[in-house]
Amino acid sequence: MHHLISRRNVSDQELTQQNEAAEAAQDAAEEEKSYEERAEELKSKLRRDLGDWYVVHTYAGYEKRVKTNLETRIQTQDIEDEIYEIDVPIEEVVEIKNTQRKVVNRVRIPGYVLVRMELTDESWNVVRHTPGVTGFVGNAHDPQPLSTDEVFNMLAEHRLGKPGEKKVEVVEGEDAPAAAAPADDVKVDFEVGESVTVTDGPFATLPATISEIHADSRQLVVLVSIFERETPVTLNFNQVEKIY
């Protein structure tokens, strides 16, 4: 009997190990997908999703609060069949506090929230009168939806990570793993007020004006005209080119 129980225990252990190995292999296969494959999957999903994406303007700093308020109103107004999803695009940026360099999550486009919805009088009213919302971008009463490419450009980095980088899952509000420290000697070939062209990311080809320079992290804060409003965007030195 003792030998029978021992063999059964060994068999159970082997089965557990096999299941764990299979799960690990599946996870590895997902990680092995190229950025292009994952990007195409996201684009396909965006095309299949019900409704259209609209841009809502909010008070700066109220983006996440507006998301929470609107999700609550959707339930209390029983309008889940018209307003499907709310997204606050997030980006990972390097911040330096007390000489410590950390990668943290922050709102990518301050003052804006994306809403996927069927545009009706009722859904318009629910969104427009959510606390913290100042209006729809564009025609206030008949806003135009974003194209699939526009939505993808805004959501891709948050959902997929950057091309060539593995997506790092970070709990909202928490710090991401610390970034590698750059070299002490950083050559800065930019000036505040200088005009540049964005060469990479969702704002590629757009002109911008430098408002801040952070040599330690090799980053710039530039002002880009988004939805007819100047918006600060953080970029790496190699994501812009001077305009000569």
Instruction: Give domain limits for the chain.
Output: 36-179, 182-244
Classify domain 182-244 by CATH architecture. Answer: Roll (2.30)
| CATH tag, 36-179 | 3.30.70.940
Residue pLDDT, tens place only, 77-132: 999 999 999 999 887 777 777 778 888 888 888 888 999 999 999 999 999 999 99
pLDDT of residue 195: 92
pLDDT of 139-164, one tens digit each? 778 888 988 988 888 888 777 776 65
User: Which pTM does this prediction carry?
Assistant: 0.63
Per the listing, tokens 């710039």 go with 220
- The pLDDT of 162-178, averaged and rounded, is 48
Equal fold, 36-179 vs 182-244: no
- Express the helix, strand and coil content of the chain in percent, nearest 5 each: 35, 30, 35
- The SS3 call for residue 161 is coil
Between CA 136 and CA 128 the distance in angstroms is 7
CA distance 114 to 123: 14
pLDDT tens digits for range 33-78 = 787 888 899 899 999 999 999 999 898 789 999 999 999 999 999 9
